[in-house]
Amino acid sequence: MLQVNNIRAHKDAYITALKKRNFDATSLFEDALKYDDMRKASQTDLDAVLAESNRLSKEIGMLFKSGEHQKANAVKAQTADLKENSKRLQDELRDAEEKLQNILFEIPNIPNDLVPAGVDEADNEEVFNEGDIPVLAEGSQPHWELAKKYDIIDFELGNKITGAGFPVYKGKGARLQRALISYFLDKNTAAGYNEVQVPHLVNEASGFGTGQLPDKEGQMYEATVDKLFLIPTAEVPITNLYRGDLLDEKDLPITHTGYTPCFRREAGSYGAHVRGLNRLHQFDKVEIVRIEKAEDSYAVLDQMVEHVKDILRELKLPFRILRLCGGDLGFTSSLTYDFEVFSTAQDRWLEISSVSNFETFQANRLKLRYKSADGSKQLAHTLNGSALALPRVLAGILENYQTPDGIKIPEVLVPYCGFDVIN
């Protein structure tokens, strides 16, 4: 969430920057500043009424103490009007604050200067490409056919139990899935990330804190009776570990990694491009999350990108990195890099990771601050990345490592799997 004082100070620059997202913030900014002015005026008037009420209360006490009961009762009558005014001003203040917050919830993050202008994913900017695309033998198949051939993933059985988009992993498929999770966690902890296990459901405050709520796209699964939400990513519970906290500068950076299943409704997703593991309602992901000082966050973002690169190099999968354009940038992000692996059997790129810097956008919602060395309180910067999302990594391994004799296992995963081929 943007800070209203920054909107006031940088209104024109913010309007221009948000045009990269094809988002016109002019009227929302005007309304935000109007309600902020109303909030300030109500607060000033309320403070004056409360001060006068306190003054009269002291005067009444002194008059009673000195035996001047008639005067005390006369002054006491004045306080009734003050109490009524106080209640009215409190209601006005609450109304202005609520309207201001609702407007701020509608405004996306300001894109970083590096974000290219653009409408959708076609305008994303490729900034890195590495790895040789393997030449597959004739008759090579996409992963959903390989899954059926080797009986390692059952999409129909998942459909029977729950519905489309909830696969069942079997035998070596389940072991490969578990191997990937362990490998990703080991890589992350070796890089200094502290592993946490977090709940898979969150409350409303957590959803608002990291920007998943209000859920404009209807992508969250909700447990309506308890007003809880199934997490779309481990970023939500991990970042919310520090909601409302005032940290000390010496505690930063805070670095965490965690494995969770993730749940997304993926409303409106149809067609061949979402077949098999390409898009699921439930999938596994290992996440990295960081809380940083403002001056360090962009150097750290580059480090996170290099960390994911290292994992993909060890898996020996061809990949590229895209800098997302304004039209494809997530609501809460200031700058995002997407990683994609090439699926040779499908002849297309598959997104397998996003690494993002949210600057203070989430921290302002979370009221997540730190006390700097000079004693001032600063909003932290939050960052997160997938390291990695499993479904499309698994799809890339199955398709790119297939041979006429079976599916080879990437060398780095063999110690985790306990086998080197699926046949």
User: Which residues are known binding-site members for ATP?
Assistant: 264-266, 351-354
Q: Which residues are annotated as a binding site?
A: 233, 264-266, 287, 351-354, 384
Q: Which residues contact 355 (CB under 8 A, 6 or more apart)?
A: 301, 304, 305, 308, 336, 337, 339, 383, 384, 385, 386
Question: What CA–CA distance (Å, rounded) separates 68 from 82?
Answer: 22
Task: Give the helix/strand (H/E) hosting 28.
Answer: helix 26-65
Q: Which residues are annotated as a binding site for L-serine?
A: 233, 264, 287, 384
In contact, 407 and 421? CB cutoff 8 Å:
yes
Backbone angles phi, psi at 195, to 5 degrees: -75, 135
Nearest to 219 by CA among 289, 286, 281, 155: 281
Distances 225 to 216, 228, 268, 314, 350 between C-alpha atoms, Å:
20, 8, 25, 45, 37
Distances 332 to 2, 148, 356, 396 between C-alpha atoms, Å:
10, 39, 9, 29
| DSSP 8-class letter at 274 | G
Q: Which amino acid is at 329?
A: L
